[in-house]
């Protein structure tokens, strides 16, 4: 399922990269757009507390949009299912949430939303270049949030898959 690149959000107004990722996943999965200049967008910013800091209540937005995270991956899976959220570190953004919305297996290139400083104008980046920006790895100080992982041995997730919650009817 391919969506038009121009309809993905590729910028932020506040500190809401996780919200932008969730809205891009919502658009990818439903085809519905929530514009950044709308009242609904501003309500979602406030719901996840992203106006003046990190989106610490992003799970409330996921629930409201009917999104759920169904898989966590330590590395890019052999069969790539989309959309995949990635947590990265970049000198221009700091810690940042982005979304893979397309993948070219021959060249191992990813099309990533909301990451203008590291991608070309159409959002493409080679996976090997993206790998250098992943914010997690064995032995780092990032807290492990994978509930099935041994916190002392396993790194935190690097990729996670969004799907629609079949039990929740989208608004």
pLDDT for the residue 42:
97
Nearest to 136 by CA among 82, 75, 78, 77: 75
Read off the pTM: 0.87
> Could you read off the pLDDT of 13-53 as tens digits, one per residue?
998 999 999 999 999 999 999 999 999 999 999 999 999 87
Q: What is the pLDDT along the chain (171 residues), one digit of tens a residue?
A: 789 999 999 999 998 999 999 999 999 999 999 999 999 999 999 999 999 878 899 999 999 999 999 998 888 888 889 999 998 988 888 889 999 999 999 999 999 999 999 999 999 999 999 988 886 544 433 333 444 445 454 456 789 999 999 887 555
Question: Is 78 buried (19+), middle (13-18) or exposed (0-12) by CB count in 10 A?
Answer: exposed
The Cα–Cα gap between 138 and 136 comes to 7
Point out which residues pair with 89 in neighbouring strands. Answer: 95
pLDDT for the residue 78:
82
pLDDT for the residue 103:
95
pLDDT for the residue 100:
97
Give the domain 11-164 fold.
Cathepsin B; Chain A (3.90.70)
């Amino acid at each position: 399922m391919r969506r038009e690149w121009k309809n993905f959000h590729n910028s932020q107004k506040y500190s809401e990269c996780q919200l932008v990722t969730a809205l891009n996943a919502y658009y990818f999965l439903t085809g519905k757009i929530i514009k950044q200049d709308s009242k609904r967008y501003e309500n979602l910013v406030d719901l996840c507390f992203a106006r003046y800091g990190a989106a610490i209540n992003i799970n409330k937005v996921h629930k409201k949009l009917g999104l759920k995270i169904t898989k966590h991956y330590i590395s890019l899976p052999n069969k790539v299912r989309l959309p995949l959220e990635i947590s990265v570190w970049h000198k221009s953004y700091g810690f940042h949430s982005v979304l893979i919305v397309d993948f070219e297996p021959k060249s191992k290139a990813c099309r990533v939303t909301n990451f203008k400083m590291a991608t070309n104008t159409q959002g493409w980046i080679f996976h090997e270049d993206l790998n250098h920006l992943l914010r997690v790895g064995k032995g780092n100080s990032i807290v492990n949030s994978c509930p099935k992982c041994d916190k002392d041995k396993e790194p935190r997730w690097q990729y996670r898959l969004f799907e629609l919650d079949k039990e929740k009817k989208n608004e």
